Every structure is written in structure tokens, then in C-alpha cells.
Amino acid sequence: MSQKQQPKPSTTGVKSKLHPRNRNKSRYNFKQLIEENPALKKYVAVNKYGSETIDFFNADAVKLLNQALLKKDYGIDHWDIPQDFLCPPIPGRADYIHHIADLLGNDDNENIPRGPRVKALDIGTGANCIYPIIGCIEYDWNFVAADINPKSIQIATAITKANKLAIEVRLQRNPSNIFKGVIKADEHFDITTCNPPFHASAEDAIHANMRKVKNLSKGKATDSKGNKPITAVSFGGQHTELWCVGGEIRFVRDMIKESALFKKNVLWFSTLVSKEGNLKDIYESLRNVNAQQVKTIDMGQGNKSSRVVAWSYHTANERKNWRRGNG
């Protein structure tokens, strides 16, 4: 699918922490978004600063906003997920894709790679399939999207088929594996992406979301009908999307260990790391598998900060040859 024309710059201010190529680096133009998705209109209100916004604790409003953004900026006409699945913020997900495009470009004289020759693998794609969608539209990459949840696979497959995207959705049949059973023996990927489960248990996930409601919404958030406070379950997300035994650090350490088995199949591995305190253990794990190159890419959206950690088992010369089609 060809890249869509870049949108016109907004005059409503810039979210300076977002990547320069991010289509949402300017503030949301709700007039345009409502034109794309009229159902969004009833959720838009003016805040105390005089700016139009939505209640980001309202699951229905967030999904409608995502649908409008995907349609306006990426030409995605069909995107829908059940309320109990994770509904991610589009700008932050897009930033990850733009930064790894830069990472790949660094191995090829700063030429940003575009076209279906670039093959990417998204681990834990979820029902939303956001990373593959953005990578496919922005850069025309060829994506494989993997997940352990059959329902997520079903929904993601329906989205990709409805929008005729170059995305192959694969079920990871063994939840103990990450790359094994997904990457074929003769298959090669330029980059892998992942947004790992953040929490170590369901209780941690619930308590964290309840703290978020208390601290940020001050008890004013409501459900889709506006008549009761939002609870933690209103934010959506299957347990495989939100938590796993050992949390983020355990998942990433397991990913690093398993990546060593596929060092010849993948140019760059990468993962989002939400907790800065996990970096020390992650770097130690990467030393243990003798990664040739490790890069940490800082990202930010609003008051939130996160980072992408990427690693490669290939030398700089090997990566350059790979990017030139000789890998």
C-alpha cells in the first residue's frame, strides 16, 4: 500500500516531544476528525484552557478518536476492536515506528528504508495491530504480526483484510515462546517490534489503572453513558496485553535470551521499555548474549516518557551489507 500524502501543518501548537515525521506532532484538529468520524462529536468538549479535547478515560471516546485518526492520517477505513481489548494511543505508537525507521536508515547512510523489501515482525500485536498498520502505511513495509491470543489474531486478521494491508498475522501457539514458532528457519527480518506486558500480575494492572484514575481524573471520569465513575476495567486490555508473570523485565529478558537463537535471521531486535529502572538488567542481559550493538532511543508524549531498546548481533559492516541487500 502506498504512502499517504503528509498532512498540512496545524496552527494549533506542536507536541514538541514527538518525532518530526509523526503525523500527530501538532495538536488534534477535532473539526477534521469529526468530519472523518461524526460519532466522535458528542465526546468533544472545551477544557479550562479553551482547547477542544475528549475525556481520555472514556473508552468509547478513545476508540472513536483512534478510528478518526487512522482514517484521516492513514487511510484506514475499517478498524474496530472489542471494548475489552487494548486501545492504544496512536501518536506514541507511530513514534516507535518512525524511530526504528531512523535506526535502519543509520545503517544505510541515513537513507530511510521504504518499500516491501523491508520486512518487520511485531511481537504481541494484539487485536489493534497498530504497529504493523502504521509501518505498512508510512513506509510500505511488509509486516508479520504475531500474538498468542486467538481472538486477537481473528480481529487483527479482519482489520488487515478489510484494509488490504501487506500484513501477515500469525498465531504463536506456545505462550512460553516469543520468536520460536513464529520465525521460520529460512526467514529474515530487518526489524522486530514489541510493546511488552507492563505489569507482573492482574492485581498490579488493576491497582495501577485505579491510581491513574485517582491522580489524573480526580474522580470525574465517567463511563460511556456519563453516569458512573470509570474503573480500571474500563481502559480495556486482555491480560496478555497488560501483564505476565515477572512483568516487563521478565518478558524482555526472555526475549533477549531467545533472540540469540535467531541472530542470523534478524538484523535488529527492538522492544519498548516503559520502566527506566529496568534498563540496567536489560543491558546486563544483552551483554550476556554478546549483542554487537545496543541502542536506546528516548521517546516522549506529553508528560510521559519511554524508550526503545534495540540490539543487533551484526557488526556495522554486516548491517550495511544487509541493508544493501547482501545480508
Summarised one tens digit per residue, pLDDT across range 224-260 is: 334 333 333 334 444 444 445 557 999 999 999 999 9
Please give the residue that has the higher pLDDT: either 79 or 232. Answer: 79
Residue 146 has pLDDT above 50, yes or no: yes
Summarised one tens digit per residue, pLDDT across range 160-187 is: 999 999 999 999 999 999 999 999 999 9
| 8 A C-beta contact, residue 57 and residue 234 | yes
Task: Give the residues across from 121 on adjacent strands.
Answer: 144, 192
Query: Which residues have CB under 8 Å from 319's CB, separation 6+?
Result: 107, 267, 268, 293, 312, 327
- Round to the nearest angstrom and report the end-to-end CA distance of the chain: 25
- C-alpha to C-alpha distance for 13 and 7, rounded to whole angstroms: 15
In the chain, domain spans: 88-200+238-326
- C-alpha to C-alpha distance for 197 and 182, rounded to whole angstroms: 19
CATH, domain 88-200+238-326, list 3.40.50.2300, 3.40.50.150, 3.40.50.300, 4.10.780.10: 3.40.50.150
Q: What stretch of H or E contains 103?
A: helix 90-106
Across the range 113-120, mean pLDDT stands at 97
**Prediction pTM value:** 0.84
| 8 A C-beta contact, residue 298 and residue 317 | no
- C-alpha to C-alpha distance for 54 and 52, rounded to whole angstroms: 7
Q: What is the DSSP string of 36-67?
A: H-GGGGGG-EE-TTS-EE--TT-HHHHHHHHH
- C-alpha to C-alpha distance for 280 and 132, rounded to whole angstroms: 29
Helices and strands counted in the chain (H then E): 10, 9
